[in-house]
């Protein structure tokens, strides 16, 4: 079981709700994935509008836990305001915190991220911060009161897969008791399996599923890959070796003169 801020979850896949061809396909992908958490972006221009309201009603009808996010926010005050609006609209203290610092890479502004996290935690939010794989930033976020970390493995939507497995492995080793969810940059089920094999607790996906030729089938594929990666980690995998090691013992074999 995966525990996030006291919630007990069976699925280790978190799924985004943007960019799907239609709301019905999005709903089918969510169902097929088995996820228990979906993320939803709140924009000021749609929060009270007719189209935004209809979309949010569809999200609510999915029967899963909502994780609102502050996607698209480029400053502390904007992210904090968006989080407060999300709490009022969705009646949850959960918030996926994004404070974007670079327009090209969408890399987090880690300074603003830590500041915003501290503000939100002090106001009763349970923060899921989208961050880099930097250990110092991770420590600052934990000091600010975050109890979950969401490091990227590559830029948002890049589908590049883990660019720095060594850093991800180091983060897992440095924070053995902190739930770590890989967020951003995963493009293939094999990418998801590989980070789960490193011992990460869950994976958050959006573009890789929503933009696939068949989002529903892709959601199922990612679900299977994440489960396989977790099972492999828990089973204990062989470490790579420099030399061949025979799988069949040579002692006791017949010797022919």
Residue 84 annotated to the active site: no
Q: How far is residue 138 from each of residues 79, 108, 135, 197, 200, measured CA to CA in Å?
A: 19, 12, 5, 21, 15
DSSP string, 62-99: T-SEEEEE-TT--SHHHHHHHHHHHHHHH--SEEEE--
Positions of E strands within the chain: 2-4, 7-9, 13-16, 37-41, 65-69, 94-97, 126-131, 150-151, 181-183, 202-205
Contact 189, 183 (CB under 8 A): no
The closest alpha carbon to 90, from 16, 40, 147, belongs to 40
Among 96, 172, 191, 230, the one annotated catalytic: 96
- Rg (the chain; Cα; Å): 20
> 23-33 vs 50-60: helix axis angle to the nearest 10?
20
Q: Could you give the residue numbers annotated as active site? A: 96
């Amino acid at each position: 079981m995966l525990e996030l801020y006291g919630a007990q979850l069976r699925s280790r896949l978190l799924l985004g709700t943007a960019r799907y061809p239609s709301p019905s396909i999005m709903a089918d992908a969510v169902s097929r994935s088995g996820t228990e958490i979906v993320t939803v972006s709140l924009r000021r221009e749609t929060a009270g509008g007719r189209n935004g309201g209809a979309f949010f009603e569809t999200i609510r009808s999915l029967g899963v836990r909502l994780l609102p996010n502050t996607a698209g926010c480029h400053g502390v005050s904007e992210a904090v305001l968006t989080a407060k609006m999300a709490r009022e609209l969705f009646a949850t203290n959960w918030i996926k915190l994004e404070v974007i610092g670079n327009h090209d890479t969408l890399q987090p502004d880690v300074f603003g991220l830590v500041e915003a996290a501290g503000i939100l935690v002090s106001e009763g939010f349970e923060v899921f911060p989208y961050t880099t794989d930097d250990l110092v930033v991770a420590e600052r976020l934990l000091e600010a009161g975050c109890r979950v970390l969401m490091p990227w493995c590559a830029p948002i939507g890049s589908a590049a897969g883990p660019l720095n497995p060594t850093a991800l492995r180091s983060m897992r080793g440095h924070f053995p008791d902190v739930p770590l969810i890989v967020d951003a940059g995963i493009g293939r089920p094999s990418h998801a399996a590989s980070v789960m094999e490193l011992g990460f607790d869950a994976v958050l996906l959006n573009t890789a599923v929503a933009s696939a030729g068949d989002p529903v089938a892709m959601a199922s594929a990612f679900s299977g890959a994440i489960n396989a990666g977790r099972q492999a980690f828990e089973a204990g995998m062989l470490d790579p070796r420099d030399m061949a090691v025979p799988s069949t013992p040579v002692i006791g074999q017949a010797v022919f003169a």
